[in-house]
């Protein structure tokens, strides 16, 4: 039996949006993701925006004319939500609320004891903020 090769990390998640300008603003100005590249794909009449988080992971944001809505509620099989690690959950909740983004009440993960909260992007894609501890400083 051969050994399974190792996956390193998630490289990117791809999101299709219904209103490119609104979603571009949300992911760059509200969530603060860095724009790596932005391209209009004329053959598809579609934008592709490459966004990066501080750890190097990425989100590809696509506009797709006439894309059907994907149900989020009730939950269906498939990708459930996209979660971001944060150091200070309360600061993020206040930031989102201050920008008019509805945030569910903070909950506690019954298995890890960590706090988390859900909110939605402009297309009602469920997003989660999960509070983590700051990494320990490395010794040199």
Residue of 12, 30, 3, 33 lying closest to 121 (CA atoms): 30
pLDDT at 139: 72
pLDDT at 85: 94
User: What would you measure as the largest C-alpha separation in the chain, in angstroms?
Assistant: 55
Given a cut of 70, whether residue 140 has pLDDT beyond it is no
Q: What is the pLDDT of residues 70-105, one digit of tens each?
A: 777 787 777 789 999 999 999 999 999 999 999 999
What number of other Cβ atoms are within 10 A of residue 43's Cβ?
Answer: 5
Given a cut of 90, whether residue 4 has pLDDT beyond it is no
Q: What is the pLDDT of residues 6-40, one digit of tens each?
A: 877 888 999 999 999 999 999 999 999 999 999 99
What number of other Cβ atoms are within 10 A of residue 71's Cβ?
Answer: 10
Domains and CATH numbers, the chain: 1-67 (3.10.180.10), 69-140 (3.10.180.10)
31 secondary structure, DSSP code: S
pLDDT at 26: 97
Q: Which helix (H) or strand (E) holds 96?
A: helix 89-98
């Amino acid at each position: 039996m051969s050994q399974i090769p190792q996956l390193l990390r998630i490289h990117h998640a791809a999101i299709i949006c219904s209103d490119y300008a609104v979603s571009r603003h949300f992911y760059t100005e509200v969530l603060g993701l860095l724009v790596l590249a932005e391209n209009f794909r004329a053959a598809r009449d579609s934008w592709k925006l490459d966004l990066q988080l501080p750890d190097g992971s990425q989100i590809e944001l696509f506009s797709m004319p006439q894309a059907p809505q994907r149900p989020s509620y009730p939950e269906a099989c498939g990708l459930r939500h996209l979660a971001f690690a944060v150091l200070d959950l309360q600061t993020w909740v206040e930031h989102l609320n201050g920008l008019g983004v509805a945030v569910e009440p903070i909950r506690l993960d019954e298995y890890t004891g960590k706090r988390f909260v859900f909110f939605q992007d402009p297309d009602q894609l469920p997003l989660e903020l999960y509070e983590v501890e700051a990494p320990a400083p490395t010794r040199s």
